């Protein structure tokens, strides 16, 4: 089946007891057993829940994986993957990852003895040079949050295969979504998502997911999912499942609007620099064209006049809402240095205070351009 069909049907059958076409929200914590240990595959909802099972199967199908595991948030999914490692293990991470990911690595997991170092993964020589005998995991985003840098996934996977320690490659695919890019097909071992974003698609749920192909990895992650217990509730699983059904049509429109916004910004005198994967002059544009179906819905740009000018613009839009997060139908604007990436301040991952990040939504593009035009012209 093609992606659009899987997005609507994978993991979902009409409910066997009632015929309900939409997957029911199995709002139950436990399941009756006919005899001790005799049940229908479900014992307790931390371990498994039918609404969650449907979501996990759908996510696995969309990513071209075998197994999906749903979590209570993107950070919970990331945390579960990192718990595959033990003190002394080294993780080579991208130097432009979501601020919360950096905070988890730097403030929570490093004190437990995991070793992190950060490189620009879009430069394969830096990846090669950053690997150590004790490297167990390479963690990266492409496009990155917030600089939209593109990494050659097949290139990194090849380097890791040739390395004596064969580290896993984990890709946070939140920005691209599996509609644009499927890292497992390019050699990654683990895909992670904040389903809060494009997969949910409507800014009404917080969730996360991991998708893998290897049964052993799945078993270890399912153990951690149950043992640590950061699972999503059935209503949240339902909301993400519903979001997935329209993912392809939403992503096409997000990308069309974002490309128009990027072109528009590139022509404005108040703008110093625009970052969008397919924009001419973006260093990763050719790779993005090969690796992604389109450029996605995120656009970042630096305004002239530094932080003050960026704050003024971000506080002056009317349709773009000043808010963290991304990937919903509505357009959002934010300042990463002061908001989503504040935890990177003072670290090598700190971002330009004049950088503005847009999550370009599904409104009419002319309204979006007019809104930005007005905000850029705003005076104190």
Ligand X SMILES: Cc1ncc(COP(=O)(O)O)c(C=O)c1O
Q: Which of 120, 141, 152, 189 binds ligand X (CB under 6 A)?
A: 141
* Catalytic-residue membership of 46: yes
Q: Which range of residues in 30-38, 105-113, 171-179, 269-277 is near ligand X by CB under 6 A?
A: 171-179
- Interface with ligand X, residue 74, by CB under 6 A: yes
Rg (the chain; Cα; Å): 21
Closest separation in Å from C-beta 174 to ligand X: 4
Beta carbons of 366 and 374 less than 8 angstroms apart: no
Residue nearer to ligand X on the CB measure, 214 or 324: 324
φ/ψ of residue 15, rounded to 5: -60, 125
- Interface with ligand X, residue 95, by CB under 6 A: no
Report d(CA 357, CA 261) in Å as an integer. Answer: 12
Residue nearer to ligand X on the CB measure, 182 or 316: 182
- Interface with ligand X, residue 73, by CB under 6 A: yes
Considering the candidates 15, 31, 46, 252, report the single residue annotated as catalytic. Answer: 46
Q: Report which of 355, 288, 7 is spatially closest to residue 143, judged by C-alpha positions.
A: 288
Residue nearer to ligand X on the CB measure, 135 or 195: 195
For 41, the token pair is 């595959």
* Catalytic-residue membership of 172: yes
- Torsion 329-334-339-345 (CA) sign: positive
Q: Which of 54, 60, 70, 75 binds ligand X (CB under 6 A)?
A: 75
Q: Which range of residues in 14-22, 95-103, 126-134, 232-240 is near ligand X by CB under 6 A?
A: 95-103
CB burial of residue 224 (10 Å; 0-12, 13-18, 19+): buried
- Interface with ligand X, residue 100, by CB under 6 A: yes
- Interface with ligand X, residue 98, by CB under 6 A: yes
- Interface with ligand X, residue 174, by CB under 6 A: yes
- Interface with ligand X, residue 172, by CB under 6 A: yes
- Interface with ligand X, residue 120, by CB under 6 A: no
Considering the candidates 197, 213, 218, 311, report the single residue annotated as catalytic. Answer: 197
DSSP H or E segment with residue 194:
strand 190-194
- Nearest residue to ligand X by CB is 74
> Alpha helices, DSSP H only, in the chain?
3-9, 50-62, 74-82, 99-103, 124-130, 153-162, 177-180, 215-228, 234-245, 247-266, 285-291, 306-314, 365-377
Beta carbons of 127 and 157 less than 8 angstroms apart: no
- Torsion 206-323-266-201 (CA) sign: positive
* Catalytic-residue membership of 2: no
Total of chain residues touching ligand X, rule CB under 6 A:
15
Considering the candidates 79, 89, 152, 172, report the single residue annotated as catalytic. Answer: 172
The number of residues in the chain equals: 380
Q: Which residues bind ligand X (CB under 6 A)?
A: 73-75, 98, 100-101, 141, 145, 172, 174-175, 194, 196, 206, 208
């Amino acid at each position: 089946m093609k992606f659009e069909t899987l997005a609507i049907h994978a993991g979902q059958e009409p409910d066997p007891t009632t015929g309900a076409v939409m997957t029911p929200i199995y709002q139950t914590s436990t399941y009756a057993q006919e005899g001790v240990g005799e049940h229908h595959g479900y014992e307790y909802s931390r371990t498994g829940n039918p609404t969650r099972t449907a979501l996990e199967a759908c996510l696995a199908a969309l990513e071209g994986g075998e197994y999906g595991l749903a979590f209570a948030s993107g950070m919970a999914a990331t945390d579960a993957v990192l718990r595959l490692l033990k003190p002394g293990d080294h993780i080579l991470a991208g130097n432009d990852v979501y601020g919360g990911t950096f905070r988890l690595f730097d403030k929570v997991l490093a004190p437990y003895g995991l070793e992190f170092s950060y490189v620009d993964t879009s430069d394969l020589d830096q990846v090669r040079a950053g690997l150590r005998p004790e490297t167990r995991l390479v963690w990266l985003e492409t496009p990155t949050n917030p600089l939209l840098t593109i990494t050659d996934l097949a290139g990194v996977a090849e380097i890791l295969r040739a390395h004596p320690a064969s580290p896993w490659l984990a890709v946070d695919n939140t920005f691209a979504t599996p509609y644009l890019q499927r890292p497992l097909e390019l050699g990654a071992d683990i895909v992670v998502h904040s389903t809060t974003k494009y997969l949910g698609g409507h800014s009404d749920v917080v969730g996360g997911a991991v998708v893998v192909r290897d049964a052993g990895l799945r078993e270890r992650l399912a153990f951690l999912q149950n043992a640590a217990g950061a699972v999503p509730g059935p209503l949240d699983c339902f909301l993400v499942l519903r979001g997935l059904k329209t993912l392809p049509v939403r992503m096409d429109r997000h990308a069309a609007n974002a490309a128009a916004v990027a072109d528009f910004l590139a022509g404005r005198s108040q703008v110093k620099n625009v970052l969008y994967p397919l924009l001419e002059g973006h260093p990763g544009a050719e790779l993005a064209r090969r690796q992604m179906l389109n450029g996605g819905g995120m656009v970042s740009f630096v305004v002239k006049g530094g932080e003050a000018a960026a704050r003024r613009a971000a506080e002056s839009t009317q349709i773009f809402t000043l808010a963290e997060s991304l990937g919903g139908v509505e357009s959002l604007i934010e300042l990463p240095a002061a908001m989503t990436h504040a935890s990177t301040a003072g670290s090598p991952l700190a971002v330009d205070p004049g950088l503005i990040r847009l999550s370009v939504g599904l409104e009419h593009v002319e309204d979006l351009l007019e809104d930005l035009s007005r905000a850029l012209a705003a005076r104190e």
